[in-house]
Structure 1
């Protein structure tokens, strides 16, 4: 969806006149899911670009204020949820501005592994509510899309190896313990750093309760083989969960590669690394 600054200005001024006098500046580059503007010095306005991100504003507003006090890293602080208007069809968010730079592989270290392990551990220990947010599609529901993606990248990657990993992940034993909270889209692009140290986790649109394997994606987007092993040991991940985590990393990496690699060399590089790391284990 085309979202320009004049539209965002009209939406903010029309629904939140208390902020009409604040300057509005496009944040570029932003993620693939949202157009982001900084509103004054303290706020950020986030508008979904596509239908896959349209629930994030309400999910974060409902749950992050409850979870944040128990987490060791900063997370988004929802301030308001905007309504569809002026031809824009979806809910949108106003959050507190979080300072920092998007993480890169340069922050990979044992210290970073410890920080991320502490975050996931704290998240997974939180009580599970009777009515948690929807978890979206599981691995099995991604089968057709993932196999189609494998077919489309067979000239770039080893299609037989991709298929073998995917089938192994699908056939791995399911999570047999009580459900736990997961971030749902836990990868390098959803970490912020300050001074080379991880400071915040963002983009909780995939937040849910169930199998924590999907949060192992971080191991295959940020970490080297050595720190990946430390990460697994820190979390005490069993073989079946690790294999499902590789499946999640593979499916997400293929999806992003097929959608964006042609138009973005940066995404092509990141997702190639992710797919290769998932194959390596």
Structure 2
């Protein structure tokens, strides 16, 4: 997916496990299919997963998760760091062994109980915000900081989107008063690939590499990357999101989709398809 990402074969993972954590040397290792862009994931036996950063900008994620995951309590299952591995066998960064979180990823249009799911994920967002910890990394959040990139992406997508309408939505969001409220804890990537369901109920959340504090709307993108219509309204009502926050959250989701679609168009079909969905939902709603 990236010009300078690492190839990480199963054999490299096995050598690292054998050398550094030999108690798991005999467990089967299977590479997991994933639409994730920063890490390669390998199932280790039945109860563990190996998380390997595949690109330089993700190289600090293991240390970040090792610091915060032991301290986080949420009403769903989250991974726990069981062991941290050092560079070796030609692999240059820290890596981790985590507990396996069971479940299946939700699919756009495939939720059998979408309004119940909307309430579940709203409850999860509330729980993340209520985290009682100190010292979180401050996440950037000004819409104006993304303006130049968004306008480049809109131009690049001239044959894919209604550029006039999308530009108007973005301009309207920029004209809305910028957020100056109180930071809350945010997961920063509540998206289909990081949510897990069991019997159609939300039971798991993974990938805490973006966990920190910032504008609460950083966790509202799920309203467009997974929810639609009535269930989106249920989600918004459950979190009591006012118009200004909703406009800002929608703009963040739009900006993310505009970055993803041209970048992953040919290399990550699942992520590109979700970006198209987000753009379509936002242009229809706005």
TM-score by length of 1: 0.92
Task: Return 268-277 or 161-170, whichever deviates more.
Answer: 161-170
Deviation at 1:128, TM superposition (A): 4.8
Check if 1:64 corresponds to 2:69: yes
Task: Return 164-173 or 248-257, whichever deviates more.
Answer: 164-173
1:209 to 213, 229, 246: 213
2: CA distance between counterparts of 1:7 and 1:156? Answer: 40
Deviation at 1:229, TM superposition (A): 1.1
SS at match of 2:220: helix
Structure 1 partner of 2:3: none
Task: Return 27-36 or 250-259, whichever deviates more.
Answer: 27-36
Ranges in structure 1 where 5+ consecutive residues have no aligned partner: none
Distance 1:90 1:140, change over 3 A: farther
1:73 to 63, 76, 98: 76
Q: Deviations over 1:182-220 (max 9, x none)?
A: 110111221111222221111111111010111110000
Matches within 5 A, 1:46-57: 46-57=51-62
2: CA distance between counterparts of 1:123 and 1:79? Answer: 22
Structure 2 partner of 1:44: 49
Ranges in structure 2 where 5+ consecutive residues have no aligned partner: 1-5
SS at match of 2:221: helix
2: CA distance between counterparts of 1:265 and 1:74? Answer: 28
Check if 1:172 corresponds to 2:171: no
Structure 2 partner of 1:123: 128
Check if 1:268 corresponds to 2:272: yes
Deviation at 1:172, TM superposition (A): 2.6
Contact in 2 for aligned 1:3/1:35 (Cα 8 Å):
yes
2: CA distance between counterparts of 1:213 and 1:74? Answer: 23
Task: Return 132-141 or 145-154, whichever deviates more.
Answer: 132-141
2:263 to 259, 263, 268: 259
Q: Give the count of matched residue pairs.
A: 278
Matches within 5 A, 1:8-157: 8-68=13-73, 71-105=74-108, 106-107=110-111, 109-129=114-134, 131-136=135-140, 138-157=142-161
Q: Deviations over 1:85-128 (max 9, x none)?
A: 23322222210011111111222611111111111111112235
TM-score by length of 2: 0.90
1: CA distance between counterparts of 2:181 and 2:168? Answer: 26
